[in-house]
A = this chain, B = another copy of it.
């Protein structure tokens, strides 16, 4: 469905005081009409179908608890482009902020509750990753509207500039090391070989070793290659699920295991590295060669922005409010040294979008680690997920609850049940389900 949404919640004289069509998915299949709770997914950086199809737990829970389910698409993503193909022009892109997205959800929930006769139905928000951050923010910003939040794999600290800039790639590395230390060593060794060839400017050997479509010819090309290679490991660590998935691309079951077996199988380290990143970039085996700039695009998020319109939007958010100055350094991680300092960020973002990032803004606006006055939030994290340690790992109070899932990758708990699920995610989902039922019970009240 589409919702007629206010374009600018924070300026009554901007851009003609207009509206745009915000997409949402809705099902009342399980809803105890007018009574059951509303489960509202706070859409994040992509097409809302992508998240709906990979968050089956919410629908399973709705079936048990008689809930109405809504998946709302984030402005500037998917089909919710306020200015169509001009949405990423300047200044049109300026209405892409976290605050506008939250206000969208607040207005949408309030209006839909009226339309659907659901005024007294408690609302629980759900989200994974950046969507989980939005769920946290919805609960702290709009507790008048939202009774509780399940924030799965939400890196609310590391994206607010809190924590160690080395943490992310260190934790990616740890996943491979955990499988076998030799795996980490092999990856590190392969990157060293590549570095040696690059130093020697032996570009044609690099091309053949990595099956590149075009011969690299500059340090910039080598930098791009390193970024592309590193990104494949990021994806496999994040999406290290116990069964094959179609989410942000195609992934086999246990991709970290598959990657390490591939790394340790070959005799030539660089060929092994090529085949390993092929798990991500060439899952069908159809690619004859790798297009260096076509498969991966560098942006203001060192963990990757993806490709296409959605990647523009995320790049813009990483250039404004969301702070991800993560580095690899070849010491605390297995990757080549690649910095992304606040200065590099500012330089890139000024040039790309005409904006100056505001470090510290998310911490001011959404409380950083000073969450003691908040309530009714579950922070779930999987120990396999490199984002986990950028989030809340210990309960902060009886109603600010951390749930850690030892065998979990990036928001595994939001996915539908699967025979291959480890016991730890089954336990986590059960606990989440119980807490949410309590919140709903406590929030029941007369229409206000």
Q: Which residues of B contact A375 (CB under 8 A)?
A: 373
**A109-140: which residues lie under 8 A (CB-CB) from chain B?**
110
Q: Assess whether B94 is in contact with A320, with CB atoms less than 8 Å apart.
A: no
Q: Which residues of B contact A365 (CB under 8 A)?
A: 103, 106
Copies in the complex: 2
Q: Assess whether A355 is in contact with B13, with CB atoms less than 8 Å apart.
A: yes
Q: Which residues of B contact A421 (CB under 8 A)?
A: none
Q: Assess whether A93 is in contact with B13, with CB atoms less than 8 Å apart.
A: yes
Q: Which residues of B contact A355 (CB under 8 A)?
A: 12-13, 17
Q: Which residues of B contact A353 (CB under 8 A)?
A: 12-13
Q: Which of A93, A143, A319, A369 has the most CB of B within 10 A?
A: A143
Interface residues on A, range: 35 or more
Give the dominant DSSP class at A's interface: loop
Q: Which residues of B contact A12 (CB under 8 A)?
A: 94, 97, 319-320, 353, 355-356, 358
The residue from B14, B143, B319, B367 contacting A370, defined by CB atoms under 8 A apart: B143
Closest CB pairs A-B (n = 9): A13-B94, A144-B370, A144-B367, A143-B373, A12-B355, A13-B91, A10-B10, A11-B94, A12-B320
Residues of A within 8 A of B (CB): 6, 8, 10-14, 17, 90-91, 93-95, 97, 99-100, 103, 106-107, 110, 141-145, 319-320, 353-356, 358, 360, 363-365, 367-370, 373, 375, 448
19 A-B contact pairs sorted by A residue (CB < 8 Å): A6-B358, A10-B99, A10-B100, A11-B11, A11-B91, A11-B94, A12-B94, A12-B97, A12-B355, A12-B356, A13-B353, A13-B354, A14-B91, A17-B354, A103-B365, A107-B364, A142-B364, A143-B367, A145-B364
